[in-house]
Structure 1
Amino acid sequence: MSLPVAVSLEQLRKQAKDLRKARSLKLSEAQFEIARRYGFGSWPRLRAYVDRVATAGSSLQHAFENDPDYYAERAEGLLASAADGTQEALAAFERWSAPLSPAGARLVVARNHGFTSWTALRRHVADLRAEPFARAFQAILARDFDGLRELLERFPELVTADGTNGNDLLGLAASTCDERLVAVLLEAGADVAHANTHGWTALHQAGYSNLPHMARLLLAAGAPVHRSARGDGGTPLAVALFWGNREVAAMLAEHGVVPRNLRTAAGLDDIALVEELWSSPEAGAHRGFYRPHGGFPAWRPSSSATEIGDEAMSWAARADAVGAISALHRLGASLDADVYRGTPLTWAAACGRVRAVRRLLELGAAPSAVGTFGGPRHGVGTTALHHAAEDGHLEVIEVLLDAGADPTITDELYGGTPANWASHGGHEDARALLLARGGTERA
């Protein structure tokens, strides 16, 4: 039996009464059986679901996590996305006439789930095990392919239903990085173009997680490469290049360099395109996207030619695009600018890009330049050596130390040296290397 998206409470009551008469059951027994047919653990849960549909409409979002903090984080992310100008997020606030504030974001999340208050949503998520969407989500987490198929066959509407912040089951499956789950959802008819309230699609997730095989599967099913998420120009390719994910970026670029701007050209190591765009108005086009999630601080890209060129150098560095690094340096881009959360050397070091680290240092990048990286509570007053140590990139550490990087420098937030960061990251080999090369530790 399908989910009761368009069924009224009166219709459900009639079904229960008819069943009671047909099988000589108690009314409570008939109601329980009707609830089970629809995939709910009790009549009150089914009735509450129908009430939520009446409140939120057919676009009801299904809760699927039991932790209330999950929904608080989704509200924060929704507000951040709206602040970035993402149309889907702004439309959610407009729908419920909610202010762009933390309280407004929580109200939007609650109303999208069919509740009139945040408190009511928190009560609801305490136990979701019996609801079909939540059960499908648990099957995804458990990699229970047969169980997921069974639920999709029993409740076909699940494949088009939305969870919190518009995340459908295909998007949730993609976030597990398991292409087998994605294949199950595609076979069931999932919409490969579906985007959540951030504009994020399953193909964005493949770009974000550097999953070329998943990207190939989605592209074969017709996934759009032009869709922007979290701001203008936030295509799957841009998301991939933000992290320097070269493998999936190369595949996506085969379907078009979208957007066509300087930072994308730099990340793809397309020297000819870098040179073509350097003095072109297109160089800074479609740069509304600048962060993949709200964990990064807010920023507003400008139309400054200097900023555009310096940012492109950072994107080249994280993708190990040494040809583009050289071309951008020749054209005038800075080797040490911290345009947004990281100098080129810091990005290259954090991503373990040894060739890029070597080339930047050869061209004159400062080995101990201090800057920012990641979220506002992560990298403040850090160096490339801190982040290479944090991720245990031994060869990068060696190259930086050989170039004169200071292994005793401390960051501004935690007062930690690179050896401290290596220890915190669980990389004892990196810690030992730093201490052997003159590094120190703070207690």
Structure 2
Amino acid sequence: MASTLPDNPSLERLRSDARALQRGIMANNRQAIEAVHRHHPRPDLALQHFRLHDAQLTIARRYGFSGWPALVQFMAIADELAVDPGGIDAATLDVADQFCSFASLRYDHTDAPPRWQAAATLLESNPAVPQHHVWAAASAADPVALDHHLKDRPGLVTTPGGPFGWVPLLYLCYSRVPLPNKETNALAAATVLLDAGADPNAGYLWRGLSTPFTALTGVFGEGEQGPGRQPRHRFATPLARLLLERGAHPVDQQTLYNRMFRADDSHLELLFDHGLADAGPSPWERRLGEAMESRDQMWQRQIDWAADHGFAERLALLARHGIDVSGAELVQPPFPDDPNMRDADGATPLHHAAWSGDLDLIRRLLDAGADPGLVDFRYGTTPLGWAQHAYQTGAIDYLGSWQTHTL
């Protein structure tokens, strides 16, 4: 099974929901009765004498758990490991924590190059920031500063801290600050942490959700907002390889989700090289148990997305590594008969191509008569505006050049 709890879940709220469900059954509320029939394993028997434990069982199963004890056990772990990076007010932080906050990929709407540039500007004005604490040194990928902090206090390598309560390795892996560091700096900084005892499987529960955001997740990057706003680490491949060689588990569900939206398969190839296909349970799977999706669910998500979006090479890659894709029906997204057709929000195919940065599709749509001046109904923005919001630099340049040449 897999948890379907909402962001930032609260055990007290869940208890309140159970009590409300019990009151609803006592009041013969239709929606409450339907919920019991949908989620309770013995609804007819339970409804005869509906007790609080029946309500708790219904709530637990509604959110993907086998029962209330399993839900409570997960919530105890979530209380320890949940972090909402977007809930931190950077204005209240000291300079070192502020640097870490600006530098880190948060996986919310604030992720964007200007914030990471603000981190670089702050560091330029305050070059001693990496000396302030180990978490700032990790965000800056400064191996000398890290070595200095850990020689004095070696236990810091596994100590949560900084603005998000992360261990240092996570700040290094989620940092996107545009520093002039070379690949050797980043690898040296990661090696200092790993040699000092950093856990290569370190992670946190983003807003309390049950799929961990690990060090690998941070390095591989990307996600629903696209590579412009949620880019890979600048040295993603060598850093990921180092983590895997030092014990990071190759089954990283959040990485697979974040990287499934685009056709590039470099992350899968690296993970398969390190045992993704047949690896045993990860430390996170052992710890979170049924709250995490099963391997079958994980693979089915990958197969479905690849098939629905015409990613034939991904399906072939999965099949080569023993993943059963026999039921997948590859769909090649059709080219629209009307390049200016609108969806329910008034966006055209050119809006969506601009958002995803698909230059080939942008060219084809424009050649077919797509109007780059049309605005969508929801945001009142042109395709160029969508590309700008997504920081799709190639699409921005191409659409800007097209409009200039056609004036």
Per chain length, whose mean CA-contact separation is higher, i.e. which structure has more relative contact order (CA < 8 Å, sep 6+)? Answer: 2
Larger Rg: 1
Please report the TM-score for the alignment, with normalisation by the length of structure 2.
Answer: 0.49
